[in-house]
Amino acid sequence: AVLRRAASGGQGQGQGQGQGQELGQGPGSARVEPSLLRFLVCPLSKRPLRYEEATNELINEELGIAYPIIDGIPNMIPEAARTTQKKPPAEDSKQP
């Protein structure tokens, strides 16, 4: 997995400082630019994504996955996505 570090102007050289923010889990996580949302689609399904402000993620309801937004930049790498509680339809309907 690729982890992008936020440009901090030379700060953050201490070990372990700011790691929670780099992962998009701290209060320093910037939300994505609203005008950008209409252009973003899931790299797997090519469908539009829904922005969830509470978790600062882009949600694909159809596949049941959520992409994190790190320092205002959506991490659209499929391996970086987490599964949501809702299961995708493909898993619900198993064919014999």
How many domains does the chain divide into?
A: 1
Structural domain including 68 reads 34-83
Is the model's pLDDT at 27 over the cut of 60?
no
Within-domain flag for 95: no
Model pLDDT, residue 25: 44
CA quadruple 45, 49, 54, 55: dihedral, nearest 10: 30
pLDDT confidence band for 65 (50 / 70 / 90): very high
Within-domain flag for 65: yes
Within-domain flag for 20: no
- Please tell me the distance from the alpha carbon of residue 49 to that of residue 63, in angstroms, as a whole number: 11
Within-domain flag for 11: no
Q: CA nearest 69: which of 39, 26, 19? A: 26
Within-domain flag for 51: yes
Greatest Cα-to-Cα distance within the chain, rounded to the nearest angstrom: 58
Both tokens of residue 46? Answer: 């090519």
- Please tell me the distance from the alpha carbon of residue 17 to that of residue 19, in angstroms, as a whole number: 6
Within-domain flag for 58: yes
Both tokens of residue 42? Answer: 């899931």
Model pLDDT, residue 64: 96
Average pLDDT over residues 52-69: 95
**CATH code at 46?**
2.20.25.10
- Please tell me the distance from the alpha carbon of residue 32 to that of residue 1, in angstroms, as a whole number: 21
Is the model's pLDDT at 33 over the cut of 70?
yes
- Residue 61 one-letter amino acid: E
Within-domain flag for 78: yes
Within-domain flag for 21: no
